[in-house]
Chain A
């Protein structure tokens, strides 16, 4: 059994079929990209995995456990952390506070009205470590709302990582960014993948990012699975080429 097992899922909005019978198996430690032309149902597919939308048919399982009926915040507790297409951070808090909150939540302190003395040191270290890994040290005390797009994204990714997830889901991590920022974010994701062998699923439209990061790629078109394979296989796939060319023409 695969680590993340998406089996034949569909989503209907009334008569509109947004996702139609898609399956995807992601192994532990794999970086999987989901791509497709506009309107391919990528975001809907992503929301079916995270539980933002209920399934019409099919089944999603994480590490052998069926996720049916489990709401998004419980899925997070089970180790499924995510970021959003439009960055979701705490704008009027500093970067350090942004990271500190998930670190404390991960330590099970979200209901504690006192910080246990023996945890103070270790948690501070953990916050510092995440700030450093995210390349945020120089801006740790600035308000997150004032940062550039790329830095906000890095902050959001480190917030997700602070939860010690078993799988990281990234929804268009470089959406709306210039080349430099795109490169920096892609490098950060790559490092996380390499160094901690994190299982990652990302929806992405920037092909350079996808081919640079992904071990395997799933291609969707009009809500249906079109192809799946390594970057090399996908590049060579004629159906994919025509779908993209057709989509752009």
Chain B
């Protein structure tokens, strides 16, 4: 028992915080929606980090799949079916299909070139969202739809106007997604992904088709990204085309770095720091908060490159 606690101390702390977040938020004067944002954007950052930190592939275009998930759920609920769960599924499928199709075009690229191709590809979806006014609402975003309560037959989950319920709804999907990613990373397949990060050439000379593995990792990463985007849209009952603009991709990357890319939980920590910081900045320097976000990027790169968890680990190691 003691050994278990010692080995899983970090996991226990993180889950305890996540499970009590709405109450903690109230205690420190925050609000539940802020906690939901941490969970949803944390899932997005962890999904990106599956590719970025654990497979070692420089993806800079992940906002596109986040946005596709968001539009998937919004369009489904607005035009087809008043069902939260069906919309969620549609969002995830939309993101996954787009990633699966684009994947083969980009997996042969590496390094900064991969970054450039992924971020450029993301723009297609942005322009579709902005220009296809009639359907997507264009620049104003997709409105006139909202999440619904879920009727499971034996019981009903009320999500409308219940931020705390929605928090636990989002946390449930977060937990499933994170558990799947953790299980994959501990499996033989996951170890091959880590091997690609460590040394691509060696991995190729173990007889591995590296491009195919990167494609698979990209697909997994983008699928969970779409899930996060769909949850984000459900939280706001709104889809903003800027959620798939290229600058948003950079923000997901900075979350990973801010928290620590080499750590499993790092991106969640990074997302939490970012959400709180953004909330604070936009209240203090409302018009120019983006300038200070840029300053944070520069400062992290120059002074804090290993991120929060990286610094923590180094300190405990010493």
**A contacting B, Cβ–Cβ less than 8 Å:** yes
Per-residue A-contact encoding for B176-218, CB less than 8 Å = 1, 0 else: 0000000110011111101100110110111111100100100
Instruction: Name the one of B188, B195, B207, B216 contacting A76, with C-beta atoms under 8 angstroms.
Output: B207
Q: Which of A77, A92, A111, A163 contacts B189 (CB 8 A)?
A: A111
Min C-beta distance of B52 to chain A, whole Å: 16
Which of A101-148 touch B at CB < 8 Å? 101-102, 104-105, 109-115
Q: 1/0 per residue B126-157: CB within 8 Å of A?
A: 00000000000000000000000000000000
Give the chain A neighbours of B209 by CB distance below 8 A.
73
Assembled-state Cα–Cα distance A249/B22 (Å): 80
Expressed in whole angstroms, the Cα–Cα distance for A102 and B206 within the complex equals 6
A188 at the B interface (CB under 8 A): no
CB-nearest residue of chain A relative to B180? A113
Given contacts A91-B199, A93-B198, A97-B191, contact A113 B184 (CB under 8 A): yes
Chain A: number of interface residues, binned into ranges: 20 to 34
Bound: A110/B187 CA distance, A: 9
Interface centre among B189, B201, B202, B207 (most CB of A within 10 A): B207
CB of B317 to closest CB in A, whole Å: 12
Nearest opposing residue in chain A for B204, CB measure: A73
Shortest distance between the CB of A122 and any CB in chain B (Å) = 14
Query: A73-B205, A74-B207 are contacts. A112–B187 as well, Cβ < 8 Å?
Result: yes
Query: Which residue of B191, B198, B206, B216 is within 8 Å of A163 (Cβ)?
Result: B206
Q: Tell me, in angstroms, the Cα distance from A90 to B205 when the chains sit together.
A: 12
Q: B189 to A112, Cβ gap below 8 A?
A: yes
The answer, yes or no, to whether A100 is at the interface (CB within 8 Å) is: yes
- Name the residue of chain A whose CB is nearest to the CB of B212: A111
Q: How far is the CB of B1 from chain A (nearest CB, A)?
A: 24
- Is A55 interfacial (CB 8 A cutoff)? no
Assess whether A72 is interfacial by the CB under 8 Å rule. Answer: yes
* CB proximity of B213 to chain A, nearest CB, Å: 8
Task: Tell me the minimal C-beta distance from A171 to chain B in angstroms.
Answer: 11
Residues of A within 8 A of B190 (CB): 113
- Contact partner, A114, options B187, B208, B210, Cβ 8 Å: B187
Chain B residues with Cβ below 8 Å from A114 are 183, 187
- Which among A89, A104, A110 is the interface contact of B202 at CB below 8 angstroms? A89
What is the minimal beta-carbon distance from B192 to any residue of chain A, in angstroms?
A: 5
20 A-B interface contacts by CB (under 8 A): A72-B205, A73-B208, A73-B209, A74-B207, A76-B205, A76-B206, A81-B205, A82-B205, A88-B201, A89-B202, A90-B194, A90-B202, A100-B191, A101-B206, A104-B192, A109-B189, A112-B188, A113-B187, A113-B189, A113-B190
Q: Report the 10 A-B pairs with minimum CB-CB distance, sorted nearest first.
A: A76-B207, A90-B198, A109-B188, A88-B202, A104-B188, A77-B207, A113-B187, A73-B204, A113-B189, A112-B188
- Chain A interface residues (CB < 8 Å from chain B): 72-74, 76-77, 81-82, 84, 88-93, 97, 100-102, 104-105, 109-115, 159, 163
